[in-house]
A and B are shown apart, each in its own frame.
Chain A
Amino acid sequence: MDAKYLALVQMAVGGGVMGMAYALVAYGFQLTYAAGKAVNFGQGELVMLGAFAGITLSGIGLPYWAVVPGAMVVGALLGWFIERVAVRLALKQRNEGWILLTIIVGLFALSSVENIWGREDRPFPVPWPAEALDFFGISFTWSELAIVVGALGMMTLVELAKRYTMAGIAVQAVSADPDAAELCGIRSQSAISLSWAVSGAAAAFAGTVIGPVTTVGPTMAAALTLKAFSVAVVAGLDSGFGLVIAGVALGAAENLSGYALGSGWREAPGLILLILALALRPQGVFGKKIIRKV
């Protein structure tokens, strides 16, 4: 194969891998939006906290297979906590204050991280070797493979749980018609709490697979929220695996535009995508009411 062509494919693949991570973070938006019609604008901060929790658990000597679930528990508790202390209060008053509240909680998390762990980027320890694998001339690392397998595995697992457990079916019922769900004896508030906990766990899990590739620092949060948000806007907040396609496309586009136009343009595709999606089909995102407030 032509070397230049191969380099482009290599770049697209590398970007697509990061795009899988964006899709996983965006999936967290979908989960809470389905059940409670709200999302966490501090989702990127949860990813970052999950990664730092993972580094800390590694630091006290836990093996990797215990670090990941440990970080997920931390993420689940944080997700549950954000819904409980911030989002629920705003939704009770029937306003969109939750948008600002989740941003504030995220900023609080960010400055806490800077105070506790510092501003330096840190490596995320992993048990697998650092050398690259070769696949028909395209090389990728074990850590990149972990992102792909982890993101797809996590989303598949949650989707299966939604279909094949009563708790999951109940969350779908609350998302379709909360009043009718209450009439079945389903405590809709518990279903919403559950979805926030799962969303938080997914974000923290994302942190443990993204961390080994990007290193972990306070700056990762804002960029991830924005990119995941772009992906969710394009794919819609109710269409399961459309996220993966949108995420991979965005990741690949970032790398290629960085190459073609210079590294400063890396962030451009996400922003252009966001602006276009909001301009062309705002109702496809949050519905008219919320867009007006944003």
Chain B
Amino acid sequence: MLKVENLRAGYSGDDAVRGISIEVTEGSCIALVGANGAGKSTLAKTLCGLLTPRGGRVIFDGKEITGLSASEVARRGLCLCPEGRRVFGPLTVEENLLLGAYPRLPSFGPFRRAASGDLQRIYAMFPRLRERRSQQAGSLSGGEQQMLAIGRVLMANPRFVVLDEPSMGLAPLVVKEVFEAICSLHASGMTILLSEQFAKIALVVSNYAYIIERGSVVLEGASKGLAENPAVMSAYLG
């Protein structure tokens, strides 16, 4: 479903992603694991169009999407839930969710009815968002903001979700809750690419994983095998 070929990307200076190739098949949950600064987020941003690649190709559904803007990539069904959550702080929880469905909703006409089915679906999944729907998103706790960020992505009815560091800055109990949501999402058939520093938990929820170090894939394999290999765990993942 998604094929990344020899992708190179970075900000100023050296490449942060130095020729990474990965493949994700429909319905799978693939993990990108590696330390902070390994290039996982740069990779996630580049394949979703927030960064322009310096080389290589991104193929989604058999069509090349390299270099398309983030809004075009999102409209094709490849949606990124960004690092740091990036909810729209001054807007309400419900407005944040509605924005997730923006391409489908009428720009100037009545939009609430068009979105109400999807809103109910997200509220059923995250009941706390329903409770706080008219509250400013910036006033939510970190965990609630992460639920909102995931809910916002799901409002787009994506066919492929990239989750970038969903556990970042969250308390262990909240991390568990977020990952339960990710598991049930995967169980419902969603294709997921999960970029995560916490290797242990990422290897539990994913089928297959790429270990990334200094912008390159250093090892890949079935998640279960990687998790059971003590040499891998100590060498790359501390």
Contacts and interface: CB of A to CB of B under 8 A. Distances in A.
B5 interface: no
Interface stretch (B16-24, B105-113, B167-175): B105-113
Interface in A158-194: 165-167, 169-170, 172-173, 176-177, 179-188
B86 A180 contact: yes
Given A180-B86, A182-B49, A184-B156, 8 more contacts: A166-B98, A173-B91, A179-B50, A179-B82, A179-B86, A180-B88, A185-B74, A186-B102
Interface string B43-75: 000001110000000000000000001110011
A195 to B, nearest CB: 14
Q: Interface range on chain B: under 10, 10 to 19, 20 to 34, or 35 or more? A: 20 to 34
Given A169-B95, A169-B99, A185-B103, A179 B70 contact: yes
A165 B100 CA distance: 14
Contact of A167 (B82, B88, B89, B107): B107
A183 to B, nearest CB: 5
A88 to B, nearest CB: 15
A184 B74 contact: yes
Contacts of B79: 183
Nearest to B87: A180
Contacts of A169: 91, 95, 98-99
Contact of A185 (B86, B88, B102, B107): B102
Q: Interface range on chain A: under 10, 10 to 19, 20 to 34, or 35 or more? A: 10 to 19
B99 A182 contact: no
A166 B69 contact: no
Contact of B102 (A166, A177, A179): A166
B33 interface: no
Contacts, number: 76
A288 B219 CA distance: 46
Contacts of B71: 182-188
B90 interface: yes
B51 to A, nearest CB: 10
B90 A165 contact: no
A169 B108 CA distance: 10
Interface of A: 165-167, 169-170, 172-173, 176-177, 179-188
A167 B98 CA distance: 11
A165 B89 CA distance: 18
B48 A165 contact: no
Given A182-B50, A183-B79, A187-B69, A170 B99 contact: yes
A158 to B, nearest CB: 13
B40 interface: no
B107 A183 contact: no
B8 interface: no
B33 to A, nearest CB: 23
A185 B99 CA distance: 9
A180 B82 contact: yes
Nearest to B155: A184
A186 B79 CA distance: 12
Instruction: Name the residue among A169, A170, A181 with the largest chain B CB count within 10 angstroms.
Output: A169
Instruction: Name the residue among A166, A180, A188 with the largest chain B CB count within 10 angstroms.
Output: A166
A183 B91 contact: no
B43 to A, nearest CB: 15
A59 B156 CA distance: 51
B70 to A, nearest CB: 4
Contacts of B74: 182-185
Contacts of A177: 86, 88
A178 B71 CA distance: 11
Contacts of A187: 69, 71
Interface string B108-136: 10010000000000000000000000000
A169 B71 CA distance: 16
A176 to B, nearest CB: 5
Contacts of A170: 99, 102, 107
A184 B115 CA distance: 14
